[in-house]
Amino acid sequence: MSKPKVLVARAIFPETIDRLAQHFEVESNQADAVWSKAQLIDKLQGKAGVFTTGSERIDAEVLDACPDLKICANMAVGYNNFDTEAMTAHGVLGTNAPDVLTETTADFGFALLMATARRIAESEHFLRAGQWTKWAYDMFSGSDIHGSTLGIIGMGRIGQGIAKRGAHGFGMKVIYHNRSRLDAALEAECKASYVGKEELLKTADHVVLVVPYTPASHHTIGAAELALMKPTATLVNIARGGIVDDAALAAALKDKRIAAAGLDVFEGEPKVHPDLLTVPNVVLTPHIASATVPTRKAMADLAVDNLVGYLVNGKPLTPVNPAVLAKH
Ligand code: GLV
| pLDDT greater than 70 at residue 80 | yes
Q: pLDDT tens, 184-193? A: 999 999 999 9
Q: Does residue 133 share a domain with residue 213?
A: yes
Q: Does residue 300 share a domain with residue 272?
A: no
Mean pLDDT calculated for residue range 240-244:
98
Question: How many domains does one find in the chain?
Answer: 2
Q: Does residue 176 share a domain with residue 60?
A: no
Dihedral class, residue 159 (left if φ above 0, else alpha if ψ from -120 to 50, else beta): alpha
pLDDT at 17: 98
| pLDDT greater than 90 at residue 22 | yes
CA 127–ligand 1 middle distance (angstroms) = 33
- E strands in 155-196: 173-177, 192-194
| pLDDT greater than 90 at residue 327 | no
Q: pLDDT tens, 150-198? A: 999 999 999 999 999 999 999 999 999 999 999 999 999 999 999 999 9
CA 161–ligand 1 middle distance (angstroms) = 15
Angle between helices 293-311 and 14-21 (to 10 degrees): 20
Mean pLDDT calculated for residue range 106-125:
98
Q: Does residue 125 share a domain with residue 164?
A: yes
What are the residue numbers of the active site?
A: 240, 269, 287
Q: Does residue 196 share a domain with residue 58?
A: no
**What confidence category does residue 283 fall into, taking pLDDT thresholds of 50, 70 and 90?**
very high
164 and 189 Cβ atoms separated by less than 8 Å: yes
Which CATH number do you get for residue 224?
3.40.50.720
Q: pLDDT tens, 199-232? A: 999 999 999 999 999 999 999 999 999 999 999 9
Other CB atoms closer than 10 Å to residue 207's CB: what's the count?
29
Our mutation pick for probing the ligand 1 site, out of 290, 292, 295, 296, counting the most ligand atoms within 8 A of Cβ, is 290
Q: For ligand 1, atom 3, which residue shows the shortest CA distance?
A: 76
Using alpha carbons, select from 2, 1, 22, 11 the residue that is nearest to residue 304: 22
Mean pLDDT (the chain) is: 97
Q: Does residue 271 share a domain with residue 150?
A: yes
Mean pLDDT calculated for residue range 102-126:
98
| pLDDT greater than 80 at residue 328 | no
Q: Does residue 275 share a domain with residue 186?
A: yes
Q: Does residue 305 share a domain with residue 192?
A: no
Q: Does residue 123 share a domain with residue 94?
A: no
CA 26–ligand 1 middle distance (angstroms) = 24
Percent of the chain with pLDDT over 70: 100
Q: Does residue 179 share a domain with residue 111?
A: yes
| pLDDT greater than 90 at residue 67 | yes
pLDDT at 1: 72
Mean pLDDT calculated for residue range 15-24:
98
Q: Does residue 195 share a domain with residue 91?
A: no
Note down the domain range covering 85: 5-100+293-326
Atom of ligand 1 nearest to the CA of 238: 2
Using alpha carbons, select from 147, 250, 256 the residue that is nearest to residue 206: 147
Atom of ligand 1 nearest to the CA of 75: 5
Percent of the chain with pLDDT over 90: 98
Our mutation pick for probing the ligand 1 site, out of 105, 238, 265, counting the most ligand atoms within 8 A of Cβ, is 105
Q: Does residue 243 share a domain with residue 156?
A: yes
Atom of ligand 1 nearest to the CA of 78: 4
Ligand 1 pocket, residues with Cβ under 6 angstroms: 54, 76-78, 101, 290
